Copies of this chain bind each other. A is one copy, B any other.
């Protein structure tokens, strides 16, 4: 069972150091940084980290969020906006049981936090299966990055210690497909649908986002994604084999 905290393009060394300390506070296994905009070993970061300095030293860098999530079975993103259109937002107490279950069953679970100024893009949110919106007020919903991390890690711990955590669907069928497998399938499907004329260049992104959101919501499993991939390949053959 592995718990990973992922920060996407963090800009502030004080924030990064504080998050490292929180990782130590809450026994997070790994801190991953996607394209950080500051130096995690900046003295200010190290100072804020206090006893979490080893977390900073061990933090690995990744060029993209997809890379950082390539081995993560369960991915929950944090979003500070009031509404994200297509992407359903959950309260932390709704997502925590699912996260907790992942940790109990040897899945690697990632909690993803976005940029201080811009949060996560829609594409980045769609790389996660669940998106959590913390209970901040409507007037100023966006928490400081390290505060968001603190709240979510504490919520997770609270769930863990509850005598009767919310009953969850038993783990049937296994874990969801890893992000790279799902991503490759969707890219291939988009190709096919462009070739077939269902997608046009200007509609492709929005329409594929809907498909991705559906599959994330379903927690699509490896064998299901493989089945869809097989369909895509066969349909492509069927379209091409008749061409003069």
Instruction: Show the binding face of A for B, using Cβ within 8 Å.
Output: 86, 88-91, 93-94, 166-170, 172-173, 192-193, 195-198, 207, 210-211, 214-215, 217-220, 223-224, 227, 230-231, 234-235, 237-240, 242-244
User: Is there an interface contact between B89 and A197, defined as CB atoms closer than 8 Å?
Assistant: no
Q: How far is the CB of A193 from chain B (nearest CB, A)?
A: 6
Write the chain B residue with the least CB distance to A198: B234
Copies, count? 2
A91 to B169 alpha-carbon distance, docked (Å): 8
A239 to B197 alpha-carbon distance, docked (Å): 11
Contacts A193-B231, A231-B193, A239-B242 given: A94-B214 contact, CB under 8 Å? no
User: Is there an interface contact between A169 and B214, defined as CB atoms closer than 8 Å?
Assistant: no
Q: How far is the CB of A127 from chain B (nearest CB, A)?
A: 17
User: Is there an interface contact between B90 and A169, defined as CB atoms closer than 8 Å?
Assistant: yes
Choose from B170, B195, B211 the contact partner of A227 (Cβ within 8 Å).
B211
Write the chain B residue with the least CB distance to A227: B210
User: Is there an interface contact between A195 and B238, defined as CB atoms closer than 8 Å?
Assistant: yes
A234 to B199 alpha-carbon distance, docked (Å): 10
Write the chain B residue with the least CB distance to A173: B88
Chain B contacts for A239, CB-based, 8 A = 235, 238-239, 242
Write the chain B residue with the least CB distance to A225: B214
Chain B contacts for A244, CB-based, 8 A = 242, 244
A88-B172, A207-B227, A239-B242 given; 13 more Cβ-contact pairs under 8 Å: A88-B170, A90-B169, A94-B169, A166-B166, A196-B237, A196-B238, A197-B234, A198-B230, A210-B227, A217-B219, A218-B218, A239-B239, A242-B244
Write the chain B residue with the least CB distance to A130: B169
User: Is there an interface contact between A231 and B89, defined as CB atoms closer than 8 Å?
Assistant: no
Write the chain B residue with the least CB distance to A224: B214
